[in-house]
Amino acid sequence: MPLFVVEYTYSAETVSARDTHRAEHREWLKGLVENGTIVASGPFADKTGAFIVIVATDAATAYELFAQDPFARLNLLESTRIVEWAPVMGPLRG
């Protein structure tokens, strides 16, 4: 199955609400790790967003899935970008 990168961009205005709902967000992500959807996930060091590598059939399916993230449902994301990724080097190469 193809790999996709989910890129979240955060807003300074939602910091407090993200802090409040972070446990729910991470629990949701944990379920995706456990079922094999998420390959890797984590926030940017500068706290402006996050990068999540996933396995999905297509971008539409990935967008539909990530609309269920508590951060997305609560409108705590500035933007979400999902793009198919084709690594050519390293352990994730196809």
For the stretch 39-94, pLDDT in tens is 999 999 999 999 999 999 999 999 999 999 999 999 999 999 999 999 999 988 87
Contacts of 75 (CB under 8 A, 6+ apart): none
Residue 49, classified by CB atoms within 10 Å of its CB into exposed (0-12), middle (13-18) or buried (19+), is middle
SS3 content of the chain, % helix, strand, coil (to 5): 35, 30, 35
For the entire predicted model, the pTM comes to 0.93
Q: What is the pLDDT of residues 74-87, one digit of tens each?
A: 999 999 999 999 99
Domains along the sequence of the chain with CATH:
3-85 (3.30.70.1060)
pLDDT of residue 93: 84
